[in-house]
Amino acid sequence: MTDSSLLSPLADDFARRAGRVLLDRPMSEAEDERRYGDHVIAGHPIDPSFLTSARPAAVLYPVVVREDGLRVMLTERASHLKTHAGQVAFPGGRVEPGESVLDAALRESEEEIGLSRRAVRPLGFLPPYFSGTGFRVQPVVALVDPAANLSPDPNEVARVFEVSLAHAMDLARYRQSTIFWKGRERVFYVLEHEAAYIWGVTAGILRSFAERY
């Protein structure tokens, strides 16, 4: 990562603080007693078949140091996609057979936004997040080189933008909302922000880190 006497102390402070609350390895299913996700936020009873059939996925929670402070890098999905079109998301996707969670998050980030893994400094893992669409999402929190060049794939990503980490860590900025989906009322978190409508899994993962940080 780029060494800057102005920016590196802030990055190092974040790395130390995050290191105290993050996991040093992905959590196994046997360890994951909380089984946190959309079903918990909505207050729905846990469906064992939903949990056991959830497909493994990984996302990168990228934090970059700018002159005005720490910022979280997010994407807006392309409008033509068949699923989750136009939604705000972390870079990431499915974990392929034989692939580690970290490798999946780095590979997907490189494919989606052109972020080289050489520009990423992984710090640790958040507990898995179960999405209503059937994924067990493992977030990887990492620092990103401020000088990293991005080249978003227009087939997947409409834009990359940033929100202040302080904003994302402020629990008072989160609210709950509802939607009727697949015959049931769904409850989810929304992170209020002027740059985009941040909701669902992305807001849930942001809040998960905020609750620990």
Number of domains composing the chain: 1
Strands 157-164 and 69-77: antiparallel
Burial string for 22-54 (b: 16+ CB within 10 Å, else e) reads: beeebbeeeebeebbbbbebeeeeeeeebeeeb
Q: What is the CATH number of the domain that holds 70?
A: 3.90.79.10
Locate 73 and state its tokens.
Answer: 């890098």
Inter-residue contact 125 to 25 (CB < 8 Å): yes
DSSP 213: -
Q: Domain for residue 2, yes or no? A: no
Three-state secondary-structure class, residue 82 = coil
Instruction: Give pLDDT tens digits for 60-91.
Output: 999 999 999 999 999 998 867 656 657 899 99
What share of the chain in percent tops pLDDT 70? 92
Q: Which helix (H) or strand (E) holds 41?
A: helix 38-42
Per-residue pLDDT at 181: 59
Q: 121 lies in which domain range?
A: 8-212
Q: Domain for residue 146, yes or no? A: yes
Q: Domain for residue 29, yes or no? A: yes
Q: Domain for residue 92, yes or no? A: yes
Q: How far is CA 37 from CA 156, 190, 198, in A?
A: 24, 14, 16
Q: Domain for residue 116, yes or no? A: yes
**Interval 189-195 mean pLDDT:** 92
Per-residue pLDDT at 2: 47
Locate 68 and state its tokens.
Answer: 């005005």
Q: Domain for residue 3, yes or no? A: no
